Chain A
Amino acid sequence: MSVQAKRLEAWSPWILLLAVLLVWQGLCSAFSVSEFIFPSPLRIAQQLAEFKGEIAKHAWRTFWVTMAGFGIAIVVGVLLGFLIGSSRLAYAAVYPLMTGFNALPKAAFVPILVVWFGIGVGPAVLTAFLISFFPITVNIATGLATLEPELEDVLRVLGARRWDVLVKVGLPRSMPYFFGSLKVAITLAFVGTTVSEMTASNEGIGYLLVSAGSSMQMGLAFAGLVAVGAMAMGMYEAFSVLEKRMTGWAHRGSQGH
């Protein structure tokens, strides 16, 4: 690929974003859409600047609550994935139940969590956790369960115990799956936190969205959405850099472009 084409590829998301904003702004200006119904990008930017202190405060709250829930999700997800991936019996027993649990809408847990933990940090952290541990578990388990039988034979002949095979081969093998799942899970965690804050908190972007909406400050509500979207994208990118660093051997095919 030429240098120019590479540069175009690197900038393409920003160019697309700019194009969407321009069209959006153009439509809002051309049809003079009311800012109360559907604010233009310019209006949202103004609101962002005007309420930057307020938004930053709520965004920070949402951020650390999400990271707390996500941290728990990593610990629980890895342990559970290790258990399921390393034992056929555990896989058979746990997997159907977990799939059932994953199908439940996590927002439905919020009222229950409020009863148990009250309004505030508790429900938000736990919702973030509940929504994001599943992909981590599934990916660790998949990485462990898909071992080449020949390699297993090579090691078993040497007297390798199940634990040896898991630690020397299974875990490193599942690392690309693990880091891949972190990217998905972190964005889900932001969804969990925001949804929970909408009904069960007096702080955070979720709370900001609801209160701005109820006072017809549509520009501010959209600014809140921008804030949570930017945070989720930032974390996604951070984990994707981490993934490339830690498991470069698994991405060798894509190094060429």
Chain B
Amino acid sequence: MAADAGAPAFVDFHDVWLAYNDELLAAKQFAVEAIDLKVREGEFIAIVGPSGCGKSTFMKLATGLKRPSRGTVIIGGQQVTGPLKITGMAFQAPSLLPWRTTVANVMLPLEIVEPYRSSFKQKKAEYEAKARALLQSVGLGGYEDKFPWQLSGGMQQRASICRALIHEPKMLLLDEPFGALDAFTREELWCALRDLQAAQKFNVILVTHDLRESVFLADTVYVMSKSPGRFVVKRHIDLPRPRDLEITYTPQFTDIVHELRGHIGAMRKAGAEVAQ
């Protein structure tokens, strides 16, 4: 697509390989291999694949929690050498702290990350107002002072995403964030995430195994193969934005989902043959 050719990529993985430790490296057992990826600023990408294919490993590489064994990861024009503060993360488990109210949970990153950390005491009121506004924008108005265990699973997950976004990261990493929710709640949260991203234009890397979710939300979907983890398919989703939930019932949408399903099906079959 035309967008790829223009500005330099915001996220740039160049031939990245990762083995978790030295023994695995010596045995050439890589968790992910030959990852090449270019993401432009503000792009929403989704990574889909069977479980255990290295999606979570990819997350660790993109946040700087793991360094590649080979190759380079460049984000925002700089090579990643350590934990990357311009990212926010959320996982399948909301992992909110039960002794803090919802708004205090959302403010936790501000107590840790600079430049908020050093001014936290003076500007506490301002930051709290910001956290409350963010919670209200995802429909949690009125629940800010409740404890996480007083909220439903979907509400907890919204709060967890707010916590990932409070320090205005340039990149949001989501590891199967809606995996534990029921279908209706999940669709509600898709829309919440869609609106947040449309408003704030941050990059998103969404790891999921739900194909409909990836097609509905992402600009580009990457399909990852299983052990070793590699990107085998890159698919642009050219559905117009803003996308309404109705779009998921159109033939155009279903065709893309079907096509991706075909890639994964073929991969699983091939994997089974290799295993025999």
Q: Which residues in A have some Cβ–Cβ distance to B below 8 Å?
A: 148, 150-151, 153-160, 164, 168-169, 172-173, 175, 247, 249-250, 252
The 7 closest A-B pairs by CB, nearest first: A158-B113, A151-B95, A249-B98, A150-B91, A160-B112, A249-B99, A158-B112
| 6 more A-B residue pairs beyond the given contacts A247-B99, A249-B99, with a C-beta to C-beta distance below 8 A | A153-B63, A156-B65, A158-B85, A164-B112, A169-B97, A252-B98
- Chain A nearest CB from B86 CB (Å) reads 9
- Chain B nearest CB from A153 CB (Å) reads 6
Query: Which of A150, A154, A169, A247 neighbours the largest number of chain B CB atoms within 10 Å of its CB?
Result: A154
- Chain A nearest CB from B107 CB (Å) reads 11
- Chain B nearest CB from A144 CB (Å) reads 14
A249-B98, A249-B99 are contacts. A155–B93 as well, Cβ < 8 Å? no
Set of chain B residues within 8 Å of A155, measured between Cβ atoms? 108-109, 112
Q: Does B114 sit at the interface, judged by CB under 8 A? A: yes
A216–B99 Cα distance when bound, in Å, is: 55
Query: Could you list 17 A-B pairs, sorted by A, with CB under 8 Å?
Result: A148-B93, A154-B164, A155-B108, A155-B109, A155-B112, A157-B85, A157-B87, A157-B88, A158-B83, A158-B112, A158-B167, A168-B111, A247-B99, A249-B98, A249-B99, A250-B99, A252-B149
A157–B85 Cα distance when bound, in Å, is: 6
Contact B95 A150 (CB under 8 A): yes
Set of chain A residues within 8 Å of B60, measured between Cβ atoms? 153
Contact B95 A172 (CB under 8 A): no
A156-B65, A250-B98 are contacts. A150–B93 as well, Cβ < 8 Å? yes
A150–B180 Cα distance when bound, in Å, is: 15
- Chain B nearest CB from A243 CB (Å) reads 14
CB < 8 Å: which of B89, B98, B149 contacts A153? B89
A173–B96 Cα distance when bound, in Å, is: 12
Q: Does B84 sit at the interface, judged by CB under 8 A? A: yes
Set of chain A residues within 8 Å of B164, measured between Cβ atoms? 154
Set of chain A residues within 8 Å of B113, measured between Cβ atoms? 158-159
Set of chain B residues within 8 Å of A151, measured between Cβ atoms? 95
CB < 8 Å: which of A159, A164, A168 contacts B85? A159
Q: Does B190 sit at the interface, judged by CB under 8 A? A: no
- Chain A nearest CB from B204 CB (Å) reads 15
- Chain B nearest CB from A146 CB (Å) reads 13
Residue of B nearest to A250 (CB): B98
A46–B209 Cα distance when bound, in Å, is: 75
Contact B109 A153 (CB under 8 A): no
Query: Which of A153, A160, A252 neighbours the largest number of chain B CB atoms within 10 Å of its CB?
Result: A153
Set of chain A residues within 8 Å of B108, measured between Cβ atoms? 155, 168
Residue of B nearest to A151 (CB): B95
Set of chain A residues within 8 Å of B63, measured between Cβ atoms? 153, 157
Q: Does B154 sit at the interface, judged by CB under 8 A? A: no
Set of chain B residues within 8 Å of A173, measured between Cβ atoms? 97
Q: Does B42 sit at the interface, judged by CB under 8 A? A: no
Contact B99 A158 (CB under 8 A): no
Set of chain B residues within 8 Å of A252, measured between Cβ atoms? 98, 149
Q: Does B153 sit at the interface, judged by CB under 8 A? A: no
Set of chain B residues within 8 Å of A168, measured between Cβ atoms? 108, 111-112
Q: Does B147 sit at the interface, judged by CB under 8 A? A: yes
A247–B149 Cα distance when bound, in Å, is: 14
- Chain B nearest CB from A69 CB (Å) reads 30
B208-227 contacts to A, CB under 8 A, are: none
B93-123 contacts to A, CB under 8 A, are: 93, 95, 97-99, 108-109, 111-114
Set of chain B residues within 8 Å of A159, measured between Cβ atoms? 83, 85, 112-114
